[in-house]
Structure 1
Amino acid sequence: MMSDEALPREAMEFDVVVVGAGPGGLSAAIRLKQLNPELSVCVVEKGSEVGAHIVSGAVLEPRALKELIPDVDPALIPLATSVTADEFLMLTPTGARKLPTPPQMHNEGNYIVSLGNLVRWLGQQAEELGVEIYPGFAAAETLIEDGCVVGIATGDMGIGKDGEPTGNYQRGMELRATYTIFAEGCRGSLTKQLEKSFNLREGADPQTYGIGIKELWEVQPEKFRKGLTQHSIGWPLAKDTYGGSFLYHFGENLVAVGFVIGLDYTNPYLSPFQEFQRFKTHPAIAPTFEGAKRISYGARAINEGGFQSLPKLAFPGGVLIGCAAGTLNVPKIKGSHTAMKSAMVAAEAIAEALEGDKPDTLEAYPQKLKESWVWPELHEVRNIRPGFAKFGMYGGLVNAALETYVFKGKAPWTLHHHPDHLALKKAKDCTPIDYPKPDGKLTFDRLSSVFLSNTNHEENQPAHLTLLDPAKAISVNYNEYASPETRYCPAGVYEIVGAEENEPRLQINAQNCVHCKTCDIKDPTQNINWVVPEGAGGPNYPGGM
């Protein structure tokens, strides 16, 4: 393969480089230009366009947005819909019981939004201020010199599966900066390496995660309840499995339906995708989708560790913000507002540093974040998610009530998290789950779902999903855990072939990957490594997702 010396990378210099054009990354860029219009700010985004890789069942708490752009009317964001009612259900196999909506899930004053449309709108605001945004370029490498981050390099383009340059070869670019903001979202590939390089997780709990799977439907007008947010817990999940659903009615006759399952589940036979499909058949849920049309599909891992899983946020030359850091508020089921606020705080610390003595490590950023409303908000709910892991569903509900109404977030203890990949039991100790076949109307298979995500990867490129030890795919995963990757992946990437001939091997269909990162998180020996593919590869979610 052509050496770096034979074809050196071109370099561009900026004051600040932002990795990721999500709500956090774009808010940081906007705030920097508000504070100092002369700053050169660049945002690099691996999706083909801003919003292409954004999927979320999103209710936006507009607090941070209104602090960022004080005269904003959130209703101007395409499809944004004021919340008019909240419902919280406990599902049994045949029935549903309305429960009091937890205070954290009261959504008066909030908006149901398409997160993709929100970031597209934020991207427009950023560009109007002079921010340079480069979609379709994946940040593949962190540039570290003398122990300090000095920027990132985008991935080379036109590398074949054999690792050799093709006729379309293009060397990646170096984007150098005084400070680099990592806003990659949950389980970012560069963030994962930074945590190791700078020991950022020292003193923090392991991060814990959920997988969120979502579909967007156009429903019949008589089934549409504009502004309704509906959440549920219970069926179809077992009592020892954390998770729940959402249905959000927004826009005109659009319903976003999704399911989140904690990745600390124990049964290797569980399929989050199949649990979601089964959920839609519940008698309290299915009527919404009678005569409806499924428009899109997507999936994404989300952080669930909260306060005690926050890593060190600043290191020489860079900072972590938003879901790269893990600022999602799990009981609220919201992370955009905290991501945006952490971004604004980081931007303010950087702007001050660039005006001053430019310290390598921005200690002012975590200090400012502790003085903001984000810190107490996350601290107050720190024991709710681990309570479900420790006490199960019913015990978790009791614990959540105590934390909310009695201790009011000031309990004199903190419950702790454990790594999700260690939670799986051996297949011999678990019962296989018999999932019904899809009907093609309300329930679907994974491949037809991936088709709706518009996922595409250049075929002739190195695999972005690799096994650190290929032998473990059979010796450990297949033999001991019944190949859980064939079920926890919501896109059908992993497949066991040759089992009938007693010669099983793992086939990786990387072209199906929707970049959810679940495999990188849940593999029982952490043997699967997710890295960025060639820029612009992956899903292309439409407006509404």
Structure 2
Amino acid sequence: MAEIERESMEYDVVIVGAGPAGLSAAIRLKQLDADLEVVVLEKGSEVGAHILSGAVIDPCGLDALIPDWKDKGAPVNVPVIEDKFYVLGEAGKVGIPHWPMPPFMSNHGNYIVSMGNVCRWMAEQAEALGVEIFPGMSCSELVYGDNGEVKGVIAGEFGKNPDGTAGPGYEPGMELHGKYVFLSEGVRGSLSKEVIAKYNLSDGKEPQKFGLGMKEIWEIDPAKHKEGRVEHTMGWPLGGNAGGGAFIYHIENNQVYVGFVVHLNYKNPHLFPYMEFQRFKHHPHVAALLEGGKRVAYGARAISEGGYQSMPKMVAPGVALLGCSVGMVNVPRIKGNHNAMLSGKAAAEAAHEALQAGRASDELSAYETEVRDGAIGKDLWKVRNVKPMWSKWGMVSSLAMGGLDMWTNQFGFSLFGTMGHGKTDAASTEPASHHKPIDYPKPDGKLSFDRLTNVSFSFTNHEESQPCHLRLKDEDVPVAVDYTSYAGPSQRYCPAGVYEFVEDEGKPRFVINFQNCVHCKTCDIKDPAQNINWTVPQGGDGPNYPNM
């Protein structure tokens, strides 16, 4: 496409992504200086439309940012009153007591929330302070300055033809320039990937590790509902095929969040994470809860699991990575929203200090220092070995050794030092010839559902005339490599049925149904050949989660 002329707008800070990290940064900036020009750009149709999280939230992030959040009506209303942990077998369960675990593993004082609704409320607080928030604005490109610094982003480009040329209603979008740009895109954001690669921010770090989280919201029989109850499970149905686990959270209005996480370093390409989730709901313990109820929403997203040793450098000239763009999930606690909020607050304070000193577009080293040495770093340092232990030694051994390691880390030392992760999740996938196919029961339409039916409950929509946002580096690789050597794992690892191989004159042909995409980014992570590049579709497209 020829050089495009775009209008530009100038801000003090441009924030990409209206999740907990981006909104926290926006709020803190305006708390520090009401005159700062701050804009938040969100690719979802509204704030919260693309937010999916468990979620049991540690309120320490909210406490630090908006101490009177209760008085201001934050949708944080269901305290955890019962906390259970089970290891499942095919027909039964064994309860695991909490007493062997360090105190920080307790959910006492935490709340069950919809993070989508929390973000909607945070957006209201930000706008009341004067923050400009533009939903439906995908940020498709970075803008670089004359010295190689990140100067801004291009947002709001609409109307391209499928081949990438300008269509009849083409809108070129705008350049939004900032003295600093914050990327809070969530896991595996396309702009964050570019920044990490351009500035070599992951050099010397362990590879980032990921899980695929899938979630359904169910309305259940009021007689079975126990508001404030939290359950976590491990074991069946995954067994030794993959790491992972499940959660059941009892929220208000006789609803429960039912979630399932599969660690993406699994070896067997025949593994079907979505069908493992559907199978889980047929466990007697889970089925007894859900029978007679109805599923009202579905969604999926990737989760960063690498922890402290996988966090890349967070700053480069003019830009800072926030929240899950860095990877701040405490894996054993199954919590990251508090750290996302604290990271946004820390980035805002570093940017404010720089602007007060007359600086712009440099590296916000004070932000990096605060994350690594402050509350976030301390939270993640204590649990840094849990994920690599699980990957190397399996569930049972990692439960025992991980518990011991978390205890000793409370006192400043570890018997294991800092363990590495080894391979990326993509490189962990082994050829199909090394493994047997897995036979999955057919969904019954009552407790378990086929993917396309469930995707309709994510309220996903993409304008079909736009270019496909799932881009192949080499169009021959899916058949020549993935299908031939790995039995086409993309048709299984995607929780939305985006990818399929169809017979065309007796030969397999790769098909991308990008309209189904729920923006989980698993394909970008798990594809063995690393041939799929997830990019943003035009603004407003994708899932429309009501209260995930």
TM, length-normalised to structure 2: 0.97
What secondary structure does 1:56 align onto?
coil
Matched, 1:514 2:518: yes
Aligned to 1:187: 188
Aligned to 2:92: 95
8 A contact 2:43–2:138 mirrored in 1? yes
Aligned to 1:125: 125
Matched, 1:482 2:483: no
Aligned to 1:248: 249
Taking the aligned partners of 2:279 and 2:105, their CA distance within structure 1 comes to 24
- Between 1:238-247 and 1:476-485, the stretch displaced more is 238-247
Q: Shift in Å at residue 155 of structure 1?
A: 4.7
Taking the aligned partners of 2:10 and 2:133, their CA distance within structure 1 comes to 14
Aligned to 1:449: 454
Amino acid at match of 2:264: L
8 A contact 1:16–1:41 mirrored in 2? yes
8 A contact 2:138–2:157 mirrored in 1? no
Query: Aligned pair in 2 of structure 1 residues 74, 329: CA closer, same or farther (>3 Å)?
Result: farther
8 A contact 2:490–2:523 mirrored in 1? yes
Match of 1:497 among 494, 502, 506: 502
Amino acid at match of 1:37: A
Aligned to 2:12: 15
Matched, 1:434 2:439: yes
Q: Shift in Å at residue 497 of structure 1?
A: 0.3
Match of 2:23 among 26, 46, 66: 26
8 A contact 1:494–1:507 mirrored in 2? yes
Taking the aligned partners of 1:139 and 1:164, their CA distance within structure 2 comes to 18
8 A contact 1:380–1:410 mirrored in 2? no
Amino acid at match of 2:475: P
Taking the aligned partners of 2:217 and 2:545, their CA distance within structure 1 comes to 11
What secondary structure does 1:166 align onto?
strand
Taking the aligned partners of 1:284 and 1:403, their CA distance within structure 2 comes to 31
Aligned to 2:317: 316
8 A contact 1:495–1:506 mirrored in 2? yes
8 A contact 2:40–2:134 mirrored in 1? yes
8 A contact 1:20–1:182 mirrored in 2? yes
8 A contact 1:75–1:81 mirrored in 2? no
Amino acid at match of 2:502: V
What are structure 2's unaligned runs of at least 5 residues?
A: none
Amino acid at match of 1:370: R
Aligned to 2:379: 377
Matched, 1:410 2:425: no
Aligned to 1:355: 356
Q: Shift in Å at residue 405 of structure 1?
A: 3.0
Taking the aligned partners of 1:461 and 1:365, their CA distance within structure 2 comes to 38
8 A contact 2:328–2:339 mirrored in 1? yes
Taking the aligned partners of 1:48 and 1:204, their CA distance within structure 2 comes to 35
Aligned to 2:476: 471
Amino acid at match of 2:374: S
Aligned to 2:46: 49
Taking the aligned partners of 2:236 and 2:426, their CA distance within structure 1 comes to 24
Matches within 5 A, 1:206-225: 206-225=207-226
Query: Aligned pair in 2 of structure 1 residues 488, 137: CA closer, same or farther (>3 Å)?
Result: same
Query: Aligned pair in 2 of structure 1 residues 407, 334: CA closer, same or farther (>3 Å)?
Result: closer
Q: Shift in Å at residue 90 of structure 1?
A: 0.4
8 A contact 1:75–1:82 mirrored in 2? no
Report the RMSD for the aligned CA atoms in angstroms.
1.3
Aligned to 1:141: 141
Taking the aligned partners of 1:460 and 1:108, their CA distance within structure 2 comes to 50
8 A contact 1:58–1:115 mirrored in 2? yes
Query: Aligned pair in 2 of structure 1 residues 74, 22: CA closer, same or farther (>3 Å)?
Result: farther
8 A contact 1:80–1:113 mirrored in 2? yes
Q: Shift in Å at residue 407 of structure 1?
A: 4.7
Matches within 5 A, 1:197-212: 197-212=198-213
Taking the aligned partners of 1:171 and 1:508, their CA distance within structure 2 comes to 26
8 A contact 1:240–1:393 mirrored in 2? no
Aligned to 1:275: 276
Runs of 4+ in structure 1 displaced over 6 angstroms? Answer: none
Amino acid at match of 1:492: G
Matched positions, count: 540
- Between 1:391-400 and 1:272-281, the stretch displaced more is 391-400
Deviations 1:471-516 (Å, cap 9, x if unpaired)?
11111100100000000000000011017x5310110000000000
Deviations 1:4-50 (Å, cap 9, x if unpaired)?
34xx1110100000000000000000000000000000000000000
What secondary structure does 1:498 align onto?
strand
Match of 2:395 among 370, 393, 402: 393
Amino acid at match of 1:390: K
What secondary structure does 1:487 align onto?
helix
Matches within 5 A, 1:62-101: 62-73=59-70, 76-78=73-75, 80-101=77-98
8 A contact 1:321–1:346 mirrored in 2? yes
Amino acid at match of 1:443: S
Amino acid at match of 1:142: L
8 A contact 2:209–2:305 mirrored in 1? yes
What secondary structure does 1:435 align onto?
coil
Deviations 1:371-423 (Å, cap 9, x if unpaired)?
42111111110001110001111121122122123454621511111210011
What secondary structure does 1:285 align onto?
helix
Q: Shift in Å at residue 70 of structure 1?
A: 1.1
What are structure 1's unaligned runs of at least 5 residues?
A: none
8 A contact 1:17–1:180 mirrored in 2? yes
8 A contact 2:6–2:173 mirrored in 1? yes
Taking the aligned partners of 2:429 and 2:76, their CA distance within structure 1 comes to 40
Query: Aligned pair in 2 of structure 1 residues 539, 357: CA closer, same or farther (>3 Å)?
Result: same
Deviations 1:249-296 (Å, cap 9, x if unpaired)?
011101000000100011101111000000000011111111101100
Matches within 5 A, 1:101-120: 101=98, 102-103=101-102, 104-120=104-120
Amino acid at match of 2:208: Q
What secondary structure does 1:247 align onto?
strand
TM, length-normalised to structure 1: 0.97
Amino acid at match of 1:362: L
8 A contact 2:241–2:271 mirrored in 1? no
What secondary structure does 2:140 align onto?
strand
